[in-house]
Chain A
Amino acid sequence: MIIFGDIILAISVRTWTFIIVGLTFALYLGVAIWARAGSTKDFYVAGGGVPPVLNGMATAADWMSAASFISMAGLISFMGYQGAQYLMGWTGGYVLLALLLAPYLRKFGKFTVPDFIGERYYSQTARLVAVICAIFVSFTYIVGQMKGVGIAFSRFLEVDFALGVMIGTGIVFFYAVLGGMKGITYTQVAQYCVLIFAYLVPAIFISIQMVGNPIPQLGFGGNLADGTPLLAKLDALHTDLGFKEYTTSHDGKVNLFFVTAALMLGTAGLPHVIVRFFTVPKVRDARKSAGWALVFIALLYTTAPAVAAFARTNMINTVSNKPYASMPSWFSNWENTKLLAWTDKDNDGNIKYVAGDAFIGKKPKFDEDGKRGSLGQLLVSNPDPNTKNELYVDRDIMVLANPEIAGLPAWVIALVVAGGLAAALSTAAGLLLVISTSISHDLFKNFLMPNITEKQELTYARITIGAAVMVAAYFGINPPGFVAQVVAWAFGLAAASFFPAILLGIFYKRMNMQGAVSGMIVGLVFTGAYIIYFKYLGGTKEQWLFGISPEGIGTLGMMLNFVVALLVSNFTPPPPQNIQDLVENIRIPRGATTPTNAH
Chain B
Amino acid sequence: MSDNKMKEYWSKNLRYLSILLGVWFIVSYGCGILFADALNNIQIGGFKLGFWFAQQGAIYVFVVLIFVYVAWMNKLDKEYGVDED
Contacts and interface: CB of A to CB of B under 8 A. Distances in A.
User: Does B associate with A?
Assistant: yes
Contact of A294 (B32, B47, B54, B63): B63
Contact of A221 (B29, B46, B70, B81): B46
Interface in B17-73: 17, 20-21, 24, 28-29, 32-34, 36-37, 40, 44-48, 51-52, 54-56, 58-60, 62-63, 65-67, 69-70, 73
Given A248-B40, A589-B82, A94 B56 contact: no
Contact of A99 (B17, B34, B81): B17
A282 interface: yes
Closest A-B pairs by Cβ, 9 of them: A84-B54, A229-B46, A221-B46, A291-B66, A305-B55, A588-B82, A247-B51, A221-B47, A590-B82
Interface of A: 76, 81, 83-84, 87-88, 91-92, 94-95, 98-100, 103, 217-218, 220-223, 229-232, 247-249, 253, 256-257, 260-261, 282-284, 287-288, 290-291, 294-295, 298, 301-302, 305, 584, 587-590, 592
Given A98-B69, A587-B10, 6 more contacts: A91-B62, A94-B66, A217-B56, A221-B46, A229-B45, A587-B13
10 contacts: A84-B32, A84-B33, A84-B54, A88-B28, A92-B58, A99-B17, A221-B46, A221-B52, A247-B48, A288-B70
Contacts of B52: 221
B40 A260 contact: no
Nearest to B13: A587
A231 B47 contact: yes
B6 A223 contact: no
Contacts of B54: 81, 84, 87-88
Given A230-B46, A231-B46, A589-B77, A249 B37 contact: yes
Contacts of A584: 6
Contacts of B8: none
Given A95-B65, A95-B66, A305-B56, A257 B29 contact: yes
Interface of B: 1, 6, 9-10, 13, 17, 20-21, 24, 28-29, 32-34, 36-37, 40, 44-48, 51-52, 54-56, 58-60, 62-63, 65-67, 69-70, 73-74, 77, 80-84
A99 B13 CA distance: 10
Kindly name the residue among A229, A247, A290 whose own CB sees the greatest number of chain B CB atoms within 10 A. Answer: A247
Contact of B33 (A222, A232, A260): A260
Contacts of A247: 40, 48, 51
B66 to A, nearest CB: 4
A217 B60 CA distance: 11
A95 B29 contact: no
Given A288-B70, A302-B59, A248 B10 contact: no
A291 B70 contact: yes
Kindly name the residue among A88, A100, A248, A291 whose own CB sees the greatest number of chain B CB atoms within 10 A. Answer: A88
A152 to B, nearest CB: 26
Contacts of A229: 45-46
A95 B17 CA distance: 10
B74 to A, nearest CB: 6
A259 to B, nearest CB: 10
